[in-house]
Chains A and B, each alone.
Chain A
Amino acid sequence: MDDQPVCHGVAPVTRRSFQSPLARALGRGAANSGVQHWWAERVTAVALVPLCLWFAASIIAHAGSDYAGFIAWIRTPLATSCMILLLIALFHHSALGLQVVIEDYVHSGVKFVAVIAVRLCCYGLAVVGIIAVVRIAFGG
């Protein structure tokens, strides 16, 4: 009976396990989830295409303008709403993508801590950004 190494590209762990190869391949069974994450990543991506292009075009068009010009631009209703939507879509997409990256490369218990930390940071930063936009738009 073979030893049962775990197929990492990193340090494989050899266990003297007598679990059959089929049992090891089946693992804990299918989680029956995963499509929600996949779908949300695609929806935010589709939203980000026009929002990011709008943002890039606006930045380029207003390159070199001073503080007053920048404030005036953000205060327009279109810019305010698009900035807020951009921040929501951007940080949600980023949280989903970073979670996938961590799941790919981190396999110890650190994975759970890292995923939670990254998700919370993303949503926290999104809120900070939205507050900043709101303060610019409605401030004096």
Chain B
Amino acid sequence: MIVESSDQVPRLSWLKRFPIPRNFKVTPESRIEKGRIWPAPADAKRIKAFEIYRYDPDSGGNPRLDTFHVDVDDCGPMVLDALFWIKNKVDSTLTFRRSCREGVCGSCAMNMDGTNWLACTRFISDMDTNATIYPLANMRIIKDLVPDLTHVFAQYAAIEPWLRSETPEPEKERLQSPEERSQLDGYYECILCFCCTSGCPSHWWNGNRFLGPAVLLQAWRWLTDSRDEAKGERLDALEDPFRLYRCHTILNCTRTCPKGLNPGKAIAEIKRAIVEREK
């Protein structure tokens, strides 16, 4: 009932999706059709079924939901291990991004059982009985579980995520006190997995103009960096009814961050900074 940290898996079993039609407001090319049910392994004692979103751009068909049966004893404990098991033993065309397998690179971000998280840090045992794996929500899909992140990375570039200073470079480091450095804690650790942005309803409806929690958290990271000298210009670039103020503090972002960061709080800090320079 009371969630203390984002790695607590949602437990509510009776309301897994909003009670709306499955293909509500879905355009024809995005409609998900029934997929294949792949056979279960013959001699497996513990089997877990996964419904996985598939899309093959070369086949000309619509996305579909395939059901795979995984031998849990033959495979590692994480959902990423299950995906590898399927790719190695059942269907080698299953496509997904992955790299570090330890929750630090952000490549394997996807929607599991309705919430966004990293596949390499989600335990199979924490998945629902009817486990579902979708790509990150509201993203254009290149293939299977691989989203097109071009637009969200462009939004990241738009906030100029680098140090801006007029003061000439010092001979050695730019100095920063421990207190000033601690202002970056909770913001520099972002791995740009975009779980938060993909889970934000405001970004679903206005993602072309609203920057989204990941980008705004990084915007705050640069705003709060004492070495940066462009706070005014950064706040000017953010103060916009759509870029910043589409955030209505829904807080799906904080709930879903796989690194335990707090984009909602960062956005509230930006809003406070804007009000404080006004009053």
Contact = CB atoms under 8 A, between A and B. Distances in A.
A31 B205 contact: no
A37 B245 CA distance: 9
Given A27-B209, A35-B274, A21 B151 contact: yes
Interface in A16-38: 20-22, 24-27, 29-35, 37-38
Interface string B144-156: 0000101101110
Contacts of A32: 236, 239-240
Interface residues of B, number: 36
Contacts, number: 86
B207 to A, nearest CB: 3
A6 interface: yes
Interface residues of A, number: 31
Given A31-B242, A34-B239, 11 more contacts: A8-B207, A8-B208, A9-B138, A9-B204, A11-B25, A11-B27, A21-B154, A38-B271, A38-B275, A100-B248, A103-B242
A78 interface: no
Contacts of A7: 138, 151, 203-204, 206-208
B278 interface: yes
A133 B143 CA distance: 63
B236 A30 contact: yes
Contacts of B248: 100
Contacts of A29: 237
